[in-house]
Every structure is written in C-alpha cells, then in structure tokens.
Structure 1
C-alpha cells in the first residue's frame, strides 16, 4: 500500500494538553478546542529509516517528535468507534520532525512540512499489537534515551480519533494517522542521530545533516 496522506493530531497527550491549557483560554479562542486539532505531513516530508533528515538553511535544531502511526487498511469514512479498529492494517514508528515554534492552537505548517521531516519506520501488522492504547514510546538522540511516554496517556484513543477524523474526511488504504506527540519533546542538531522506538512495533533511526552538507 502506498501512503498518500499522513494526518497528525495536536494536543492529544494529557501532559501536552495540561501544559497548553492556560493559553487556550486567551485570545483568539478563549476556550479549549472541542474537536481534534489536526495537521498534514505532505509527501515532500516522507522519509525512510536510515535516510538523512535535512535541516533547512537558518534552522539550527529540530524537535524529535516520537509518535505512533496508525496505518489504514481499507477506505475509511464515517467510522464508528466500535468498527474503527477493523480498518487498521498496522502500526509504524514515526518521527514527526518539527522546527521549534511558539504557535498555540494553530497548525504549525511551516515548522512541520519541510522536506524529509517525516521519517516512517517499518510496519508491524495490527495482529501483532495487542493493545494500541498501551504502547511505550521512546525518543533517542545519539544513543541516549531522551524521552519516554505511553499511549495510555492519550486523550483520544485510537478508535475515537479514527472516528472523529473520518467523520469529515476519507482515509485511504496506506494513509497514516499520527496519534500525537507527547510533551517534553527532545531537540537535536545537525550531526546528531535520532531514533523513535515504539515497543512492540519497531524503530526508525535517522542522521541529521544541514542543507548543502555532504550526504
């Protein structure tokens, strides 16, 4: 299956939500979002395990966005939570690379949609993952464990997120839904090697280089 679209969810980990909640009550919204806050990682961002993440000119560091990608197995539209898991083909480790920013409650397109900014690891079949709501997530920089979390801390579970997203958009076979990036995101620079590991799913690891430097 070919991935056409990667859809990501912001503010879907409890710790991330709690950190951002005070700003939610200020201008311009004055209240927390009632629906998933979503963004896209377009095809120019797609990257493979082992290939370089390229820092654009003027960007000195990036966030290592460790997350779980839910791979869709069949066209999914207006799913209920009860049927949603039947449309999941598998899971992949994904590094949702992002330029650090201060945007709140607005999709940071310029910071997330740079070339090479979405390394996607090997897929584990859905049958191999007993509970997508209990997956350990780890982020590594130069072989050092920098952040850990778990999908136990999701605000919207995988089936709920699938139901809410497919309420208004069809996800095709091969598309990937990112469940969210936890709080305390580690930073990395050119010359570093970063990895995202999802226990029971797999690992994606990539070097980082500056734009224009030798591959």
Structure 2
C-alpha cells in the first residue's frame, strides 16, 4: 500500500486571496480598525491536530451544526535555490489538495483559533505531486462535491496573489522551511458564504492530476 502523504512542517493558510471575496469585503476594509485593504498577505496557521488523511471521518466540533468547506491547494516547500533570497516556484517540492475546514463565522479579518484549528479540520490529499508533472497553476480548477453533487468550482486564475507572487511576498517577512506548506487560499460563493456540510455528509475536493480529498463528517459524540 502506498503511504499516505501528510504534512511534516508548518501549514500556513492565506486569507482574502480570491478576487470575489476581496471585492465583497472592499467596503468594510475601509472601516476601522484597518481603514484600508491589507498590503501584505494575511496568514494563519493550521496546527498539527487538524491534519486528517483523505478517507478518514471528521468529528464535528462540539456545539456546531455545520462546517464550511475550504477547497485549496497547498504548496509544499523544498529547499530554496542557491542565490535566491526568497522562495519561488522552483523552491516548491510539489502540490497537494487540501480541504481547509472551518467553523462558519462572520469575519475573516481576525479568525479565532477555535474556528480554524479544531481537531481534524484539515483534510489532506493522499499525495504531493511535483509541479513539473502538472499543468500551470493558473489553469487549475478545483471542484467541491457534497454527497456527489457539485457545489463549487474554484479557479486559481481568480487569485489576488498568484502562487509565485504569494510565495515572494510571504518571503519578505518570514522563512518558509522545507516541509512547510503554504495554502493559496479558499474562495467563496457569490453571496460570500462557503459550501456547508453537516454530520452524515461526504465531501470531495478534486482537481486533475492530484489525488482527491474525501472526508465524511460525523457527530461530535460519534
């Protein structure tokens, strides 16, 4: 049996990195306390207790009735090239599909740890595939199916910061080490929400060339 790939470094998420959500939040970005759109990537961390392999069940956090689906791509870092001050696509060891689950909440400016880092809230695809074996990132389309029904299509062409720019911008303020994973962000639906799943639902995130992420939700006491 082929071993299931799992992260062995820090996993970073990116907020507000899709054009639709940025446009929906534009008016509120001008309000206090920020009074302007973010000038640098907005990052958060998915802790190791969130990592769940594809095929495993995920228990709903206590007190929740639904989880928001966050289809995304994780760039798995390799060694930064000699003479290169910042990470670039040549520094990426490969890509993996992820489902960045979260507890639904009203604001993406300051996500609370409890909404992002509950046990099991990162579905991990079964393999990390070198970028050289895949089409250009901008052409990728991720599909979200809940109980077999297509609920969302995520296009990486709609990123605010494409992968190379996100890597470079993150590299201005921090070091990404081999094994770290940088998620490109999750897109919203037209109304600003994300697809919701409940206990008993099976959710699949897929994209050509990558192993899908498939997880079923069960009740908190299951």
TM-score range, shorter chain: over 0.9
The reply to whether residue 206 of structure 1 matches residue 215 of structure 2 is yes
Aligned positions of 1:29-40 closer than 5 A = 29-40=34-45
Which residue is 1:79 aligned to? 86
The reply to whether residue 111 of structure 1 matches residue 111 of structure 2 is no
CA distance in structure 2 between the partners assigned to 1:75 and 1:43 by the alignment = 24
Which residue is 1:69 aligned to? 74
The reply to whether residue 188 of structure 1 matches residue 197 of structure 2 is yes
Aligned positions of 1:133-212 closer than 5 A = 133-184=138-189, 185-212=194-221
CA contact under 8 A between 1:195 and 1:204: conserved in structure 2? yes
Q: Offset at 1:58?
A: 0.3
CA distance in structure 2 between the partners assigned to 1:74 and 1:107 by the alignment = 30
Q: Which moved more, 1:143-152 or 1:121-130?
A: 121-130
The alignment's C-alpha RMSD in Å is 1.6
CA contact under 8 A between 1:135 and 1:200: conserved in structure 2? no
TM-score by length of 1: 0.92
Cα distance change, pair 108–197 in 1 and its aligned pair in 2 (3 A)? farther
CA contact under 8 A between 1:37 and 1:107: conserved in structure 2? no
Q: Offset at 1:2?
A: 5.0
CA contact under 8 A between 1:6 and 1:178: conserved in structure 2? yes
The reply to whether residue 7 of structure 1 matches residue 16 of structure 2 is no
Structure 2: runs of 5 or more not aligned: 1-5
Structure 1: runs of 5 or more not aligned: none
Cα distance change, pair 30–2 in 1 and its aligned pair in 2 (3 A)? closer
TM-score by length of 2: 0.89
SS at match of 1:124: coil
More strand by share: 1
CA distance in structure 2 between the partners assigned to 1:153 and 1:164 by the alignment = 18
